[in-house]
Amino acid sequence: MKKTISEHAARFSEAAPSYDDQKGEEYEACAGLVVRRAAPAAADTVLDLGTGTGAIALSLADDADRVVGRDISEGMLEQAREKASEAGVDNVSFDYGEFREPAYDGVAQIVTSNFALHHLSDAEKRAAIEAMASVDGGGTPSRNDTVGPRRIVLGDVMFFDGPDPAEPFFDPEVDDPATVGTLVDSFTDAGYAVTRVDRVHDQVGVLTAERVVTGGRET
Ligand SMILES: C[S@@+](CC[C@H](N)C(=O)[O-])C[C@H]1O[C@@H](n2cnc3c(N)ncnc32)[C@H](O)[C@@H]1O
């Protein structure tokens, strides 16, 4: 991580009041795909990490039973809470949580994250993906299986071809995007199969990862 957690949090809290006015075409396409790929069932709880002002969390609230948003920036969380209150959405909650310590000990069948994981180094991203996979997915363990969330959907800045300094998708001073291959390897090692890769742009994509079930019947 090129900045500390508190430096990132302060940066986003300062930007929070105008954050929703600054979104680009690729961001919108990426966010739309994260929502589409998450596809929660009506009984599912969704955990949205790096939730910011709640774009993904609020978009999924109608389809899920409950959505839990976590972020390190109190300013972003405050915007998210205001938006939920103004829209009369009462099945979402927004509280402090860091990728590797989401401060959530409930069940979540689906984990989402959009445009946030690239602030971490590759080793930290790997730890974050392991933390996502460790959330209680609400199923019953089969013989050789741990029961994490059924699906993890990650939209982010990621390199399909390599970094392009001429493009505005990341700021080398604060951002640290991974290659698609590095992210896929992290999901695989955490017990997930990346079943879909949406390439929004050379440097923006959405990975859909499904939990691999081995050695027995899932109930
Ligand atoms: C570019 S915003 C994206 C917000 C939102 N997901 C969206 O799609 O609009 C990135 C968010 O990630 C949060 N963030 C950065 N580092 C984080 C970390 N280590 N753990 C949790 N959230 C983090 C920031 O506070 C910020 O709200």
Q: What is the pLDDT of residue 215?
A: 63
Q: What is the pLDDT of residue 211?
A: 95
Distance 218 CA to ligand 1 centre (A): 33
Give 94-114 pLDDT, tens digit per residue.
999 999 999 999 999 999 999
Q: What is the pLDDT of residue 53?
A: 98
Closest CA to ligand 1's atom 14: 50
* pLDDT-flagged residues of the chain (< 70): 141-146, 168, 215-219
Q: Is the CB of 79 under 6 A from ligand 1?
A: no
* Contacts for 116 with CB less than 8 Å, ≥ 6 apart: 49, 50, 52, 71, 99, 156
Q: Is the CB of 114 under 6 A from ligand 1?
A: yes
**pTM across the whole model:** 0.95
Q: Is the CB of 31 under 6 A from ligand 1?
A: yes
Domain ranges of the chain: 5-211
Containing H/E element for 152? Answer: strand 151-159
Q: Is the CB of 26 under 6 A from ligand 1?
A: no
Mutate to test the pocket of ligand 1, among 48, 119, 129 (most ligand atoms within 8 A of CB): 119
Closest CA to 13 of 102, 65, 75: 75
Q: Is the CB of 56 under 6 A from ligand 1?
A: yes
CATH homologous superfamily of domain 5-211? Vaccinia Virus protein VP39 (3.40.50.150)
Long-range CB contacts for residues 179-188, cutoff 8 Å, separation at least 24: 180/205, 180/207, 182/122, 182/125, 183/125, 183/129, 183/154, 183/156, 183/158, 183/207, 186/125, 186/126, 186/129, 186/130, 187/129, 187/152
Q: Is the CB of 203 under 6 A from ligand 1?
A: no
Closest CA to 70 of 31, 112, 113, 102: 102
Give 32-70 pLDDT, tens digit per residue.
999 999 999 999 999 999 999 999 999 999 999 999 999
Q: What is the pLDDT of residue 145?
A: 57
